Structure 1
């Protein structure tokens, strides 16, 4: 199945460059481009892509609010992959909180770009790289969130589910969690699914953000 992609960035060279790179992949097709957040929302409505590559800093409506509007409606299936120039960008963390499934540096290679699109489109979150784990940990420590989720929601998880959630927040994949807990990978997938349902979260990235914001996991060294 071909993965349909919309690229939202105010720089034409970025849009065109990513379009050429992704269209060279046999299983990915760029079906549209957007110059700002409002344009991205419109393109999603028109084209129903699987993934949106979303720049954060755009004129008019920025990528954070656009991500929130795209992923917020009930039943929304489109995934947002945030594009950024700097790996420790405070706006990236806000985008993850807004519903993005991960982020990618704009200087990523063609292979990294294509793989990131595939990972997100497949329903997983682009959370494994240490850079993402560090960003979530750092900005959960620095950011005072007036609407941080209640830790009471964690009480509905079993002890094993809380353990799995903690390992997700540390950036471990299902296979790595299975190895750590000495269980089958399918068992881990079942736990992850139950965690997302119980907490009302859309993917692993949101679960990691939740774990840090509720204090279930503390950033390393704090």
Structure 2
């Protein structure tokens, strides 16, 4: 690949999935990055250590990590270690609340993992050239939520059951904090299958079909602040 701009080195990749790590490595290699230029971490704790001992110039961050949320990682290092470093979130999460939180705490780009290699290459190139990148699908979601208050403040169905169990309320709070079902299971020391069942029950009681709608419905009826 003919590069007309300097590469930002070293580069941190916070990603726990080996398959995605390999995919990212091959894409970065096409830019001209060498093995020693890329610092991989599968956990937030190790990524923080990398940032403390290296002057990282660019970061690619997943949100679902074994020891927490990539959003918390970005927030924890943004002011202390990496105040001006471009940070691109590369995640499967596409809910408005999670996207907003990531951008709010300091992410300068947000791209979905489902995009093909060509789109990821374009996104990384944009970031390396000093730009910010928001996946078009995500941009539409943000604009829709910003420009249509009715989408965020819908009338609560009269059949909504507000009598959630204590466990369901705990899980709902975790959902509102952007945790995946796997992360909720770890947080509450229960299986992912059990979390899946509780989330389904929450949807049924709140008469919704998505996490975003569950969060907004819960806020409207006072289950969440």
Note whether the superposition's TM-score is higher than 0.5.
yes
Please point out which of 61, 70, 79 is paired with 1:54: 61
> Which stretch has the larger CA shift, 61-70 or 85-94?
85-94
Alpha-carbon distance in 2 for matches of 1:51, 1:139: 29
Please point out which of 99, 102, 114 is paired with 2:121: 114
Alpha-carbon distance in 1 for matches of 2:145, 2:65: 21
What TM-score do you get using the length of structure 2 for normalisation? 0.54
The count of aligned residue pairs is 143
Deviation per CA, 1:46-90: give whole Å up to 9, x if none.
Answer: 332322111111121320010112222387221111111143353
Contact 1:52–1:79, Cα closer than 8 Å, also in 2: yes
Q: What secondary structure, in the 3-state scheme, does the structure 2 residue paired with 1:3 have?
A: coil
1:8 aligns with 2:14: yes
**Rg larger in 1 or in 2?**
2
What TM-score do you get using the length of structure 1 for normalisation? 0.55
Q: What secondary structure, in the 3-state scheme, does the structure 2 residue paired with 1:42 have?
A: helix
Please point out which of 136, 142, 148 is paired with 1:130: 136
Cα 1:48–1:87 change in 2 (3 A) is: same
Residues 154-165 of structure 1: matches in 2 within 5 Å?
none
Cα 1:19–1:86 change in 2 (3 A) is: same
Cα 1:74–1:13 change in 2 (3 A) is: closer
RMSD: 2.7
Alpha-carbon distance in 1 for matches of 2:16, 2:152: 27
Alpha-carbon distance in 2 for matches of 1:44, 1:98: 17
Contact 2:96–2:142, Cα closer than 8 Å, also in 1: no
Consecutive unaligned residues in structure 1, runs of 5 or more = 145-222
Deviation per CA, 1:94-123: give whole Å up to 9, x if none.
Answer: 111110011111122223222212222333
Residues 68-107 of structure 1: matches in 2 within 5 Å?
68-73=75-80, 76-88=83-95, 90-107=97-114
Greater than 6 Å deviation, 4+ residue runs: none
The answer for the alignment partner of 2:47 in structure 1 is 40
The answer for the alignment partner of 1:173 in structure 2 is none
